[in-house]
Structure 1
Amino acid sequence: MNNLVSIITPNYNSEKFISETINSVLNQTYKNWEMIIVDDVSTDKSIDIITFFCKQDSRIQLHQLSDNSGAAIARNKAISLAKGTFIAFLDSDDLWLPKKLEFQLDFMLKNNYSLSYTSYEIINEEGNSTNKTIKCKDKLDYNRMLYSNEIGCLTAMYNKDVLGKIFMPKIRKRQDYGLWLKVLKSEKYAFGLATVLAQYRDRSQSISNNKVEMLKWNWNLYKNVENLSYFRATYYTLCNVINKLLK
């Protein structure tokens, strides 16, 4: 496999985690990648840390936004700069296991899949296991995804040569969910690789831990990005709540 993978990483004040995130990419068994880090006007020392890694390895690139604009703008900037055949996503506090790219690329190429995702495990803010694993579904279509976002952003990868460069909707939160829905409007399915290949860091201050905010942003996505009716937007928002409670 000689396909270049472009890794999309937005950064904002992640000095506590960014070294570990970058090292998880450096430790990949698959070596043909570029890591495009777009900083959203950080005020901590994360820029210094990223710059150090850029000097050590030319595959790591740092680009800085002039205004604090949110993760969607940062990710879309990175996508616009990407040169790879495949686009993958890794936030600045999450981690990949060493064979993530190797296994997932093989899975996609052998089966001719355009969008894939994997299972992942949850770690706490200190990086310790929580003994919780999110097992991915075998496959997902647009209608199934409306009920709940079943694709962990840190596990997702799409084939740019097949789909073109697909960008995230310019909303402050849930933009990754919007991208998967956008892809699934043209692709019949996204496919899951059951192997655990990534670690999601559960942080107490993250949007995913603010349930009320999550509801607002989900409803906004359904109503204003997916253009669903008021009734359908409300219905799928409630379905999301139920799915979260059942997990």
Structure 2
Amino acid sequence: MLVSIITPCFNPDEKLIESIVSVQNQSFQDYEHIIVDDFSSKPMSAELLKIIELDPKIRLITRSWNGGAAVSRNRGIQEARGRFIAFLDSDDLWHPKKLELQVAFMEGNNIALCYSSYEVIDSRGKVLGTRTPPSEMTYTDILKSNQIGCLTAIYDSRIIGKVYMPNISKRQDMGLWLKILRMGHVARGIVSQPLGRYRVGHTSLSSNKLNVLGYQWAIYRRVEKLPLLPSIKYFSAYAWKGLRRKV
């Protein structure tokens, strides 16, 4: 039941070390950790390189040109050897039982796409709040509000094959969930406890919400190719829920 964990990075710092340690501390140890360096402009620190070199479960892939998060994640998916595909960004963290709980839940219920609740932390690791999605989400639910945190998502390639993210600058994870759910699957989550910690950047949450609205519109029109009126409907619902969310 090998799990392939995909971590894209660009000019990583000590936060990637924290992410790696949170993977190494998993109670479920049947995994490979694929770290894709997206043609960083500066070398990794000696400490980080040593950690990577000493861990046989880590596979470091260095790309020859900078393509962005979607390209790097897709390269990781392409290289993945595991049945389950999981995602962890270079500044996010996992609960020690994250993989154990989700893999057992997926196997026991034949789930194609699984997620969980997660905490939101600031750059120093202070918990700002918890995001708790519904226990089930359909294609239409995600169009209205993408509540699947990328750091919590796992999909089963035995059920749906390898599915890749659309090559867009932002919201590529939402594009992947929509691809999977468009096949007729329902995403299910472990929402009783947070299994990850998502780190927000230095800019304000309100600023981030406003900046991504253009990318959100592109999901509806360019990626999903929805007609204008449904796009307006889903975009309005998404913007309203997003702007009201505090963390």
- Judge same fold: TM > 0.5, yes or no: yes
- With 27-36 and 232-241 compared, the bigger mean Cα shift is at 232-241
CA deviation after TM superposition for structure 1 residue 244, in Å: 1.3
Q: Is the contact between residue 12 and residue 90 of structure 2 (CA under 8 Å) also seen in structure 1?
A: yes
Per the alignment, in what secondary structure is the counterpart of residue 212 of structure 2?
A: helix
Segments ≥4 residues shifted beyond 3 Å: 44-50, 205-209
Is residue 171 of structure 2 the alignment partner of residue 159 of structure 1?
A: no
Match of 2:188 in 1: 191
Match of 1:119 in 2: 117
Match of 1:226 in 2: 224
Match of 2:147 in 1: 150
Match of 1:135 in 2: 132
Q: Distance in 2 between matches of 1:231 and 1:172?
A: 24
What CA deviation, in whole Å up to 9, does each residue of 1:100-124 have, x standing for no partner?
A: 0011111111111111000000111
Q: Distance in 2 between matches of 1:207 and 1:73?
A: 26
Q: Match for 1:179 among 176, 180, 188?
A: 176
The count of corresponding residues between Structure 1 and Structure 2 is 244
CA deviation after TM superposition for structure 1 residue 172, in Å: 0.9
Q: Is the contact between residue 15 and residue 44 of structure 1 (CA under 8 Å) also seen in structure 2?
A: no
Match of 2:101 in 1: 103
TM-score normalised by L of structure 2? 0.94
Partner letter of residue 215 of structure 1?
A: L
Q: Is the contact between residue 11 and residue 92 of structure 1 (CA under 8 Å) also seen in structure 2?
A: yes
**Residues 21/196 of structure 1: CA separation in 2 closer, same or farther (3 Å cut):** same
Partner letter of residue 231 of structure 1?
A: L
Match of 1:89 in 2: 87
TM-score normalised by L of structure 1? 0.94
Q: Is the contact between residue 209 and residue 242 of structure 2 (CA under 8 Å) also seen in structure 1?
A: no
- With 134-143 and 227-236 compared, the bigger mean Cα shift is at 227-236
Q: Which runs of 5+ in 1 are unaligned?
A: none
What CA deviation, in whole Å up to 9, does each residue of 1:48-95 have, x standing for no partner?
A: 554322211111011111111100000000000000010000000000
**Residues 10/206 of structure 1: CA separation in 2 closer, same or farther (3 Å cut):** farther
The two structures, once aligned, show a CA RMSD in angstroms of: 1.7
Q: Distance in 1 between matches of 2:44 and 2:160?
A: 33
Per the alignment, in what secondary structure is the counterpart of residue 17 of structure 1?
A: helix
**Residues 211/108 of structure 1: CA separation in 2 closer, same or farther (3 Å cut):** same
Q: Distance in 2 between matches of 1:207 and 1:45?
A: 30
Match of 1:169 in 2: 166
Partner letter of residue 178 of structure 1?
A: G
Identity of aligned residues (%): 43
Q: Distance in 2 between matches of 1:149 and 1:227?
A: 17
